[in-house]
């Protein structure tokens, strides 16, 4: 029996007559069978080319990549960070002990455009690249690996200490990659020495500059202290006791002068009274103001004894006349001592003038002493403020002096540390493993490339096989037909082919198979020959001494 799928135009081959009985039995048991190895083999036979062609392409692609990819060699050198040679108790370094930061800075300097351009020109690298210098430098950055070597045991509670690191370079020539790796290591060591020396020099220069600045500040403060003392001379704290003693001495002198003035005033008053009494006694004229004043005073006392008040006309008239007489007497005294009327009065007047002159002298002395005492008291009053202001200046001077002493000690230590760095006695880098020309390329991993390409071809063939089988709506078994139609299959007639068709089909399959085998063999042989020729060429290059490496020498 043959038939067509309702959605397909292909003729279904439902097997031979011998298979019809098994098909009938399967139909009688329910028409459903599971997927087994026999069905898988039938699918594989029907879709062989859908699987074989991708697999063959994957193998050819893997073989071509494994043989045709250019080799890349990698050479590396290991640099050890040696600790300071001189004990730190004797000489302390002035370089910041941050290995990670210094490693990062040196790495940036090594990978800078100028440094890599110099190496490219020196070794003639990337001559096959016809690109701008920036692109060539960027390519070289990708080929360089600078990474720290972590210790085997890491304590998570402490920061990781970088004690060594590795520098590697990849390229097409074994000798070139070794020479470039060694040159990078030399550049790394040179940059580290220059960086440490520069840091030590900068530290020393900084301390020297700070020392000069503080010395200038100290000189300015000393000048300010001198000017302040000159400006406020007499009000300084060390002059306080002297000012107090001067005030006490002047106070005593002032008291003595005041006593002398009081005595002189009493003598002047006494002499004046004597002169007035003598003039009254010796003068009988009614127009004498002194005598008239005495008479009026007696008369005024008589009025008061009679009970006259101050508002009585006689009292008012007497008091007004007494005031006029006192004014007249004062004017006469201010104009000069009146002519004496007797030798005794002349003697009294001379004594009066002497006492008056002495009183004026004592008054001027008292006034001067008072002003001098006021000056000393003002100095004593201003002394606490001057003491605070001067103390601030002197404190600044003391701090600057102490700071200068500290900076002088630090300058000496910085000079010793700088000398230690210049003599390469501090922490330094040392090459413990120089780069050697590699015997085999690091890239590509040819077996891995071949295996991956072959695996991808197998996966692609299997995917195409499954996709083609799922998309095909033709019937290839009695069970598929019976499942779609829902009626039992009575008989199945196999495909009938003539012997000539069978022989032609087998001959065609044989030719295809032999062709594939021959193509694979030719590709395999060609790839091996190409690989060996390339290997021999690189061996010849390795045998030729590298000019640049010979010029530079090993690390």
Average pLDDT over residues 162-174: 85
Q: Is the pLDDT score of 474 beyond 60? A: yes
CB 117 within 8 A of CB 141: no
pLDDT above 50 (res 549): no
Give the pLDDT band (50/70/90) at residue 520: low
Q: Is the pLDDT of residue 45 over 50?
A: yes
Cα→Cα distances 312→293, 303, 318, 321, 322, Å: 19, 9, 10, 14, 15
Do the beta carbons of residue 550 and residue 183 sit within 8 Å? no
The average pLDDT across 328-345 equals 63
Second-level CATH architecture of 74-215+424-433: 2-Layer Sandwich (3.30)
* pLDDT tens-place string over residues 21-41: 333 333 333 444 455 676 677
Chain length of the chain: 555
Pull the structure tokens for residue 496: 């009938």
The whole-number pLDDT of residue 7 equals 38
Confidence (pLDDT) at 94:
64
Q: Is 60 exceeded by the pLDDT of residue 6?
A: no
Show the tokens assigned to 192: 């580290």
548 vs 136, more confident: 136
> pTM for the whole thing?
0.51
5-19: average pLDDT: 38
Q: Please determine, for residue 401, whether its predicted confidence score (pLDDT) is greater than 90.
A: yes
Q: What is the pLDDT of residue 21?
A: 37
Tell me: pLDDT of 232 over 80. Answer: yes
Of all residues in the chain, the percent with pLDDT exceeding 70 is 73
Higher pLDDT, 359 or 28: 359
pLDDT of residue 544: 40
Q: Which has the minimum average pLDDT: 17-26, 268-277, 520-529? A: 17-26
pLDDT at 338: 54
> Which pLDDT does position 339 carry in this prediction?
53
> Out of 3-7, 410-414, 507-511, which region has the weakest mean confidence (pLDDT)?
3-7
Tokens of 389: 């202001």
**DSSP code, position 517:** H
Distance set, CA 271 to CA 184, 260, 275, 297, 354 (Å): 119, 16, 6, 21, 11
Residues 6+ apart with CB under 8 A from 103: 148, 162, 165
Q: What is the 3-state secondary structure (H, E, C) of 212-242?
A: HHHHHHHHHHHHHHHHHHHHCCCCCHHHHHH
Lowest model confidence (mean pLDDT) among 209-213, 241-245, 366-370, 439-443: 439-443
pLDDT of residue 398: 93
Residue 461 has, within 13 A of its CA and on its CB side, a CA count of 20
The first and second tokens of residue 415, run together, are: 């000079």
Joined tokens for residue 409:
């000690």
pLDDT in tens, 281-331: 665 545 566 667 777 888 888 887 888 888 888 888 888 888 887 777 776
pLDDT above 60 (res 18):
no
Phi, psi of 149 (to 5 degrees): -100, 115
Indicate the SS3 state at residue 307. Answer: coil
Which residue matches tokens 């590697």?
168
pLDDT above 70: residue 95: no
Q: Taking residues 197-220, what's their average pLDDT?
A: 89
CB neighbours of residue 88 within 10 Å = 10
CA 536 to centroid of chain Cα atoms? 55
Residue 417 makes CB contacts below 8 A (sequence gap 6+) with 91, 92, 93, 94, 95, 200, 203, 204, 426
* pLDDT interval class at 156 (50, 70, 90): low
- The half-sphere exposure of 439 on its side-chain side, counting CA atoms within 13 A, is 0
Question: Which segments of 423-498 does DSSP mark as H helices, in order?
Answer: 446-471, 478-485
When mean pLDDT is compared across 2-16, 103-117, 135-149, 189-203, the lowest value belongs to 2-16
pLDDT of residue 218: 92
For the 237-407 domain, the top CATH level (class) is mainly alpha
- Kindly tell me the burial class for residue 483, based on how many C-beta atoms sit within 10 Å of its own C-beta (0-12, 13-18, 19 or more): middle
The answer to whether residue 253 scores a pLDDT higher than 50 is yes
pLDDT at 463 over 50: yes
Cβ neighbour number for residue 272 with a 10 Å cutoff: 16
**Local structure of residue 486 (DSSP, 8 states):** -
Q: What mean pLDDT, rounded, does the chain reach?
A: 76
Rounded to an integer, the average pLDDT of 474-490 is: 71
The residue that leads in pLDDT, 282 or 415, is: 415
Residues 148, 154, 160, CA angle at the centre, nearest 5°? Answer: 50
SS3 301: helix
The whole-number pLDDT of residue 11 equals 38
Strand 144-148: give its sheet, edge to edge.
144-148, 164-171, 73-82, 428-433
Q: Which residue has the higher pLDDT, 420 or 223?
A: 223
Tell me the domain boundaries of the chain: 17-69+444-552, 74-215+424-433, 237-407
Band of pLDDT at residue 403, cut at 50, 70 and 90: very high
Lowest mean pLDDT across 16-20, 176-180, 337-341, 399-403: 16-20
Predicted local distance difference test score (pLDDT) of residue 412:
87
Is 527 within 8 Å of 61 (Cβ atoms)?
no
Residue 74, pLDDT score: 87
Q: Is the pLDDT of residue 141 over 80?
A: yes
% of the chain exceeding 90 in pLDDT: 12
Q: Is 430 helix (H, G, I), strand (E, B) or coil?
A: strand
Cβ pair 23, 500 in contact under 8 A = no
């Amino acid at each position: 029996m043959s038939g067509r799928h309702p959605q397909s135009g292909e003729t279904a081959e439902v097997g031979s007559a011998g298979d019809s009985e098994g098909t009938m039995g399967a139909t009688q048991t329910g028409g459903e069978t599971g997927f087994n190895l026999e069905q898988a083999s039938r699918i594989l036979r029907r879709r062989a080319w859908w699987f074989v062609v991708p697999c063959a392409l994957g193998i050819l692609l893997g073989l071509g990549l494994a043989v045709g990819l250019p080799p890349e060699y990698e050479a590396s050198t290991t640099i050890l960070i040696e600790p300071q040679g001189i004990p730190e108790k004797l000489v302390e370094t002035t370089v910041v002990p941050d290995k990670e930061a210094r490693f990062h800075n040196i790495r940036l300097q090594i990978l800078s455009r100028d440094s890599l351009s110099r190496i490219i020109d020196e070794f003639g690298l990337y001559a096959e690249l016809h690109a701008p210098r920036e692109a060539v430098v960027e390519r070289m950055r990708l080929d360089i690996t600078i990474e720290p070597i972590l210790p085997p045991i890491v304590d998570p509670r402490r920061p990781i200490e970088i004690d060594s690191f590795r520098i590697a370079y990849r390229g097409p020539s074994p000798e070139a990659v070794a020479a470039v790796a060694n040159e990078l290591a030399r550049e790394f060591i040179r940059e580290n020495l220059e960086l440490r020396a520069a840091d030590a020099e900068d530290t020393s220069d900084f301390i020297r500059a700070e020392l000069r600045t503080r010395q200038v500040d100290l000189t300015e403060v000393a000048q300010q202290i001198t000017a302040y003392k000159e400006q406020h001379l007499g009000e300084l704290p060390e002059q306080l006791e002297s000012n107090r003693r001067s005030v006490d001495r002047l106070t005593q002198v002032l008291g003595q002068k005041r006593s002398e003035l009081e005595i002189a005033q009493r003598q002047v008053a006494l002499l004046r009274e004597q002169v007035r009494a003598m003039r009254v006694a010796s003068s009988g004229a009614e127009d004498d103001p002194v005598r008239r004043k005495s008479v009026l005073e007696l008369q005024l006392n008589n009025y008061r004894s009679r009970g006259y008040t101050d508002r009585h006309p006689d009292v008012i008239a007497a008091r007004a006349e007494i005031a006029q007489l006192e004014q007249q007497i004062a004017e006469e005294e201010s104009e000069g001592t009146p002519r004496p009327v007797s030798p005794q009065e002349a003697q009294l007047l001379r004594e009066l003038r002497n006492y008056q002159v002495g009183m004026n002298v004592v008054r001027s002395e008292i006034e001067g002493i008072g002003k001098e005492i006021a000056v000393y008291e003002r100095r004593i009053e201003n002394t606490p403020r001057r003491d605070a202001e001067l103390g601030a200046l002197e404190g600044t001077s003391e701090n600057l002096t102490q700071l200068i002493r500290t900076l002088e000690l630090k300058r000496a230590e910085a000079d010793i540390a700088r000398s230690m760095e210049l003599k390469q006695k501090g922490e330094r880098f040392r090459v413990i493993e120089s780069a050697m020309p590699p015997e085999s390329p690091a890239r590509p991993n040819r077996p891995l490339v071949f295996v991956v390409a072959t695996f991808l071809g197998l996966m692609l063939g299997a995917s195409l096989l499954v996709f083609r089988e799922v998309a095909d709506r033709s019937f290839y078994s009695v069970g598929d037909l019976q499942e779609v139609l829902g009626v039992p299959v009575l008989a199945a007639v196999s495909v009938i082919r003539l012997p000539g068709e069978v022989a032609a089909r087998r001959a065609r399959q044989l030719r295809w198979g032999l062709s594939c085998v021959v193509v694979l063999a030719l590709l395999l042989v060609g790839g091996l020959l190409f690989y060996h020729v390339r290997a021999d060429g690189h061996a010849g290059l390795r045998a030729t001494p590298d000019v640049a490496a010979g010029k530079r020498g090993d690390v």
